[in-house]
């Protein structure tokens, strides 16, 4: 295991996915996961505390239901994101992190800095989105 400073940022001139890069992304992903788990716990706690479902007012009940529905969808999105983070952490362990699942090419530091759970390089991602759009239009 390699130690990196809190201010370390991967550089293009370093060997792609060297030990420093992997440690940087591992820490970034673990921090992100911890933050998501904390916000999920708070959201679930707050949802259980704020319950208008037994209110006599039908408008309050409907509003409460809508808010809970929105909160639950947000929590579900975060749970899926945590799963993607776990997948990225596994890739760091097995040495495949940072490489496109379709082409095997490097995903790129800039893309991974913006989206650490990215699994496709830009070219493969654009192709994937184009195909989704084609099928969506059918």
What band does 72 get if pLDDT is binned at 50, 70 and 90? confident
Token pair, residue 42, equals: 């708070």
Domains of the chain: total: 2
How does pLDDT run across 23-52, given as a tens digit for each residue? 999 999 999 999 998 887 776 666 666 555
Whether 65 is in a domain gets the answer yes
Same-domain status, 83 and 131 = no
Same-domain status, 92 and 138 = no
Provide the 3-class DSSP secondary structure of residue 12: coil
Same-domain status, 90 and 107 = no
CATH number at residue 42: 1.20.120.910
Domain of 118, in residue numbers: 100-138
Same-domain status, 89 and 114 = no
Q: How far apart are CA 34 and CA 22, in angstroms?
A: 18
**Mean pLDDT, the chain, integer:** 87
Q: Which among 72-76, 112-116, 133-137 has the top mean pLDDT?
A: 112-116
């Amino acid at each position: 295991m390699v130690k990196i400073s809190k201010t370390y940022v991967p550089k293009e001139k370093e060997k792609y996915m060297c030990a420093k890069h992997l440690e940087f992304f591992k820490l970034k992903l673990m921090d992100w996961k911890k933050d998501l788990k904390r916000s999920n716990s708070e959201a679930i706690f707050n949802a259980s505390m704020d319950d208008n479902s037994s209110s006599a007012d039908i408008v309050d009940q409907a509003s409460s239901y809508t808010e809970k529905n929105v909160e639950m969808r947000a929590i579900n999105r975060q749970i899926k994101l945590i799963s993607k983070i776990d997948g990225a952490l596994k890739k760091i362990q097995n040495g495949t992190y940072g490489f496109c699942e379709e082409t095997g090419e490097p995903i790129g530091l800039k893309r991974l800095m913006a989206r650490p759970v990215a699994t496709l390089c830009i070219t493969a991602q654009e192709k994937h989105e184009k195909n989704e759009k084609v099928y969506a239009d059918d």
